[in-house]
Chains A and B, each alone.
Chain A
Amino acid sequence: KQEVTQIPAALSVPEGENLVLNCSFTDSAIYNLQWFRQDPGKGLTSLLLIQSSQREQTSGRLNASLDKSSGRSTLYIAASQPGDSATYLCAVHRGDRGSTLGRLYFGRGTQLTVWP
């Protein structure tokens, strides 16, 4: 069974710092990996999707890398801002039973607080 672990569980930093959030997964047979943001009381918003054949994806101040063979991904946030405060979730898509639309396996998330 696929297990996804995120470290750290919580992170509190001053504005302007560059951050690294870590995600590891036990089964490297994945189709893709996604990073999501979740604000309190809200649903999930997709930030970045990395295909299994890719090494990284970038969007603005966010950069996500994927090392499939070692079962690891990192989300890098440059020049953090208070508006970045949220929970960041990593999820891997394994495509169960030969389907490319299969379930996502989520980690517990990293709760990020960026203070002014």
Chain B
Amino acid sequence: GAGVSQTPSNKVTEKGKYVELRCDPISGHTALYWYRQSLGQGPEFLIYFQGTGAADDSGLPNDRFFAVRPEGSVSTLKIQRTERGDSAVYLCASRPKTGSGNTIYFGEGSWLTVV
């Protein structure tokens, strides 16, 4: 597609429920990133994929968070037993190839509210 696509754009869920957030990166981009942004804060790194494998998952806050990218394209961020503190914007981004000269492209985010 033309840009990074994220669905849903908004999600309201009850505390304790399971949530899946989907990211469709720009076609051909090998690297995919998930960030979380709370109000008034900068984006906080969660995980990034190089192809199908998670190259760095050190930003995942705890074992309730998990992400997959089974075919090296679309990725899903999964949150189990949601808590009110999980409320944030979840941003996905992708980059075209290796090399530090390639810029990163962000989607518009999935706004998650846990009530």
Q: Which residues of A are at the interface with B, using a C-beta cutoff of 8 A? A: 4, 31-32, 34, 36, 41-46, 49, 51-52, 89, 91, 93, 95-97, 99-109
When the two chains form their complex, are residues A99 and B56 in contact, meaning their CB atoms are under 8 A apart?
yes
* CB-CB nearest in chain A for B42: A106
Q: CA–CA, A30 to B101, complex, Å?
A: 12
How big is chain B's contact interface, by range?
Answer: 20 to 34
When the two chains form their complex, are residues B103 and A109 in contact, meaning their CB atoms are under 8 A apart?
no
Q: CA–CA, A96 to B55, complex, Å?
A: 10
When the two chains form their complex, are residues B103 and A93 in contact, meaning their CB atoms are under 8 A apart?
no
When the two chains form their complex, are residues B42 and A4 in contact, meaning their CB atoms are under 8 A apart?
yes
Contacts known (A102-B48, A108-B42); A51 close to B59, Cβ less than 8 A: no
Asked if B28 lies at the interface with its beta carbon under 8 angstroms from chain A, I say no
Across the interface, A100 reaches (CB within 8 A) one of B91, B99, B103, B106, namely B99
Q: CA–CA, A42 to B9, complex, Å?
A: 10
When the two chains form their complex, are residues B106 and A44 in contact, meaning their CB atoms are under 8 A apart?
yes
Across the interface, B100 reaches (CB within 8 A) one of A32, A42, A43, namely A32
Report the minimal beta-carbon distance from B95 to chain A, rounded to whole angstroms: 6
A residues near B107, Cβ cutoff 8 Å: 43
A-B contact count (CB 8 A): 71
**Beyond the given A32-B100, A34-B104, A43-B109, could you list 19 further A-B residue pairs with CB under 8 A, ordered by the A residue number?**
A36-B106, A44-B43, A44-B91, A45-B106, A51-B101, A89-B43, A91-B42, A97-B56, A101-B48, A102-B55, A102-B56, A103-B33, A103-B56, A104-B45, A104-B104, A106-B42, A107-B42, A108-B41, A109-B42
When the two chains form their complex, are residues A101 and B108 in contact, meaning their CB atoms are under 8 A apart?
no
Of A34, A93, A95, A102, the most chain B CB neighbours within 10 A belong to A102
* CB-CB nearest in chain A for B9: A41
Query: Interface digits, B82-111 against A, CB 8 Å rule (1 contact, 0 not)?
Result: 000000000101010011110111111100
B residues near A52, Cβ cutoff 8 Å: 100
Contacts known (A97-B56, A103-B56); A34 close to B48, Cβ less than 8 A: no
Contacts known (A42-B108, A43-B109, A46-B105); A101 close to B45, Cβ less than 8 A: no
